[in-house]
Amino acid sequence: MELTLWTYEGPPHVGAMRIAASMEGLHYVLHAPQGDTYADLLFTMIERRDRRPPVTYTTFQARDLGGDTAELVTRSIQQAVDRFRPEALLVGESCTAELIQDQPGALAGGMGLGLPVVNLELPAYSKKENWGAAETLYQLCRTLLRERMPAPGSSKPAPDRWKSEGRRPRVNLLGPSLLGFRCRDDIKEIRGLLGEHGIDVNLVAPLGARPSDLLRLPVADANVCLYPEVAGPLCSWLERNFGTPVLRTVPIGVGATRRFLRELSALLGLEPPESNEADLRSRLPWYSRSVDSTYLTGKRVFIFADATHAIAAARIAADELGFTVVGLGTYSRELAREVRAAASDLGLEALITDDYLAVEKAMGDAAPELVLGTQMERHSAKRLGIPCAVISSPLHVQDVPARYAPQMGWEGANVIFDSWVHPLMMGLEEHLIGMFRHDFEFVEGHRSHLADGAPSRPGGMAEAAQAVAVASSPPPPLPSSSLQPSSLPLAEGALIWSVDGEAALRKIPFFVRGKVKTNTETFARDNALGEITEEVLYDAKAHYSK
């Protein structure tokens, strides 16, 4: 049993639903108890879709368990096929159905339905949503393409055969799906980018594809694996069985987009792209170089997301925005190795976990000034009072915006610049709050460019009076528990903050105070100092600035 306050991924059958709902002409019969239809809302409300997901649920109840639930399955399958007439059928179980073992896939296989049936085996108690999506996409393509596989030992198609065939090169864009992060606009951005470089898109899948479209997968010159969490296994299988090369660089960020174009051109035998293209096409490089961005230098950022977006964010943060990455992690165990490598490039140890509390603790320990995470990190960041931007699924309805909001390509970098910098305090305000702490409106932690001034409540005159009182009298004890929940056992080693030490700590701007506090306490402990005075704080400051 595992205590979960928030879960990063749904169960694997939700991944399968994402594939079915992303595609056209594919239906999914799901053996599941009454109530599991909640998953429809993910599509009708969060993705704001205008149609029901193509899913038929058996919705068994307690009274059905005494009877023939297998008969309920076959009836549901027959009715779904008769009513919706899909090109292919997915059949699977949810977690409760897995316990009663009716084998719905095998039942469907024996019904003579006259259409391709994919029997999904998704272990709900050990695997999760992204795995379920990847497995479903892979099994579906495998079922449909089984008879078209070239004989073993046949020669691989050359990626530059387009030249001899007198056409433009064409690639598949694999992985985009509903409930993925900004997939809708990423595809548009990448399609445009490729078009400008003379590359056609053969097929986008699963988003918008039909089962019959999937039969065209092998005619592409290369597969572009845009979302490895969903398309990784399929791309590897297509490479093994059809010899289609895979481009695995994900074009999120200016540098990654440039690498993506370079590598794809090389793979397809095209002229390399112009070296100044990024500066001409994306505003991020100039915005980030312009002097207004100087104060972003060294901002401490904590990143936790799916592997794809975490790795991309770490590179953008470090190389393109000049932040210091102080924490990097993912819940995507399938891609843990890649995230570990990215973390080690930054001198960090990757946090690989799906435990929300472990992430919250790591975030508290790292004391960042900005959190780039998922919808879940917004909860911890609120608790810790840290600015936060969402960079990956799981997401909620506000991250499926009406406006064009890609993450990939040149425009994606523009979107990223705006949305990551927005939660931070603006430069002038940051300076003034560091200088004058007794204001009645612009109080500590206040960010006046945000509608709610978050994270601290603007308390007006009352707060100003309190600020004056703090300045002139011994300060109240620091709210160390709210700053560093369970991460810093102050009692241990009997560290005591003296009155002047605490007063000095209060003068540190709030967004770096957490880090200064940690550093000072570590310094005091290392030097066996029992009491932290103002001088110890400055000693520590000098020590760590070396």
Partner 1 sequence: MASTPTLPPLLRESGQREVFCGLTSIVWLHRRMPDAFFLVVGSRTCAHLVQSAAGVMIFAEPRFGTAILGERDLAGLADANEELDRVVGDLLERRPEIRTLFLVGSCPSEVIKLDLAKAAERITTRLRGRVRVVNYSGSGIETTFTQGEDGALSALVPLLPRCDDDQLLLVGTLADGVEDRLLTLFERLGVGPVRSLPPRQSTDLPSVGAGTRLLMAQPFLSDTVRALERRGARRLPSPYPLGVEGSRAWMAAAAAAFAVDEARVAEVLDPLVERGRRALVPLRRQLEGKRLFLMPDSQLEIPLARFLSRECGMDLVEVGTPYLDRTLMAEELALLPDGTQLSEGQDLERQLERVRAARPDLVVCGLGLANPLEAEGIATKWSIELVFSPIHGIDQAADLAELFARPLHRRELLQWN
Stretch that binds partner 1, among 32-40, 106-114, 292-300, 414-422 (CB under 8 A): 32-40
Min separation Cβ 419 and partner 1, Å: 17
Min separation Cβ 11 and partner 1, Å: 4
> Which positions ≥6 away from 140 have C-beta within 8 Å?
19, 26, 88, 90, 118, 211, 214
Cα torsion at 215, 217, 221, 226 (round to 10°)?
Answer: 170
* 95 lines the binding site for partner 1 (CB under 8 A): yes
Of the candidates 511, 517, 509, the residue with the CA atom closest to the CA atom of residue 488: 517
> Which positions ≥6 away from 71 have C-beta within 8 Å?
none
Comparison of 46 and 145: residue with beta carbon closer to partner 1? 46
Q: Using omega within 30 degrees of 0 as the cis cutoff, is the peptide bond preceding 475 cis?
A: no
Stretch that binds partner 1, among 191-199, 214-222, 309-317, 392-400 (CB under 8 A): 392-400
* 61 lines the binding site for partner 1 (CB under 8 A): yes
Comparison of 355 and 500: residue with beta carbon closer to partner 1? 355
Rounded Cα–Cα distance for residues 378 and 28 (Å) = 33
Q: Of these residues, 40, 102, 160, 292, which one is catalytic? A: 292
* 451 lines the binding site for partner 1 (CB under 8 A): no
Of the candidates 286, 290, 366, 291, the residue with the CA atom closest to the CA atom of residue 324: 366
Chain centre distance of CA 231:
15
Comparison of 69 and 236: residue with beta carbon closer to partner 1? 69
Inter-residue contact 485 to 383 (CB < 8 Å): yes
**Interacting residue with partner 1 among 40, 365, 429, 430 (CB under 8 A):** 40
* 69 lines the binding site for partner 1 (CB under 8 A): no
Comparison of 7 and 498: residue with beta carbon closer to partner 1? 7
Please count the residues of this chain forming the interface with partner 1, following the rule CB under 8 A: 63
Measured in degrees and rounded to the nearest 5, phi and psi for residue 391 equal -125, 0
Q: Is 292 a catalytic residue?
A: yes
Helix (H, G, I), strand (E, B) or coil at 480: helix
**Interacting residue with partner 1 among 34, 154, 290, 481 (CB under 8 A):** 34
Min separation Cβ 114 and partner 1, Å: 21
**Interacting residue with partner 1 among 94, 282, 288, 518 (CB under 8 A):** 94
Distances from the Cα of 355 to the Cαs of 8, 329, 332, in angstroms?
A: 8, 11, 12
**Interacting residue with partner 1 among 20, 21, 28, 36 (CB under 8 A):** 36
Q: Using omega within 30 degrees of 0 as the cis cutoff, is the peptide bond preceding 509 cis?
A: no
Stretch that binds partner 1, among 9-17, 206-214, 463-471, 537-545 (CB under 8 A): 9-17
Residues linked to residue 91 through DSSP beta bridges, in sequence order: 29, 119
- State which of positions 474-493 bind partner 1 (CB under 8 A): 486
> Which positions ≥6 away from 375 have C-beta within 8 Å?
390, 394, 395, 396, 399
* 49 lines the binding site for partner 1 (CB under 8 A): yes
- How many other CB atoms are found less than 10 A from the CB of residue 415? 21
Chain centre distance of CA 9:
11
**Interacting residue with partner 1 among 15, 24, 25, 51 (CB under 8 A):** 51
Q: What is the DSSP letter of 252?
A: B
Comparison of 17 and 529: residue with beta carbon closer to partner 1? 17
Beta-strand ranges (E) seen in 331-436 are 351-352, 370-373, 388-390
Min separation Cβ 423 and partner 1, Å: 13
Burial, 494: exposed, middle or buried (Cβ in 10 Å; 0-12, 13-18, 19+)? exposed
* 361 lines the binding site for partner 1 (CB under 8 A): no
Min separation Cβ 372 and partner 1, Å: 16
* 397 lines the binding site for partner 1 (CB under 8 A): yes
* 546 lines the binding site for partner 1 (CB under 8 A): no
**Interacting residue with partner 1 among 18, 27, 31, 128 (CB under 8 A):** 128
Measured in degrees and rounded to the nearest 5, phi and psi for residue 141 equal -65, -40
* 58 lines the binding site for partner 1 (CB under 8 A): yes
Stretch that binds partner 1, among 28-36, 273-281, 408-416, 443-451 (CB under 8 A): 28-36
Comparison of 271 and 452: residue with beta carbon closer to partner 1? 452
**Interacting residue with partner 1 among 112, 126, 451, 472 (CB under 8 A):** 126
Inter-residue contact 305 to 374 (CB < 8 Å): yes
- State which of positions 208-227 bind partner 1 (CB under 8 A): none
Inter-residue contact 172 to 204 (CB < 8 Å): yes
* 15 lines the binding site for partner 1 (CB under 8 A): no
- State which of positions 290-309 bind partner 1 (CB under 8 A): none
User: What residues make contact with partner 1 under the rule CB under 8 A?
Assistant: 1-7, 9-11, 13-14, 33-42, 44-46, 48-52, 56-62, 64-65, 76, 79, 83, 94-96, 99-100, 123-126, 128, 357, 375, 378-379, 382-383, 394, 396-398, 486
Residues identified as active-site? 292
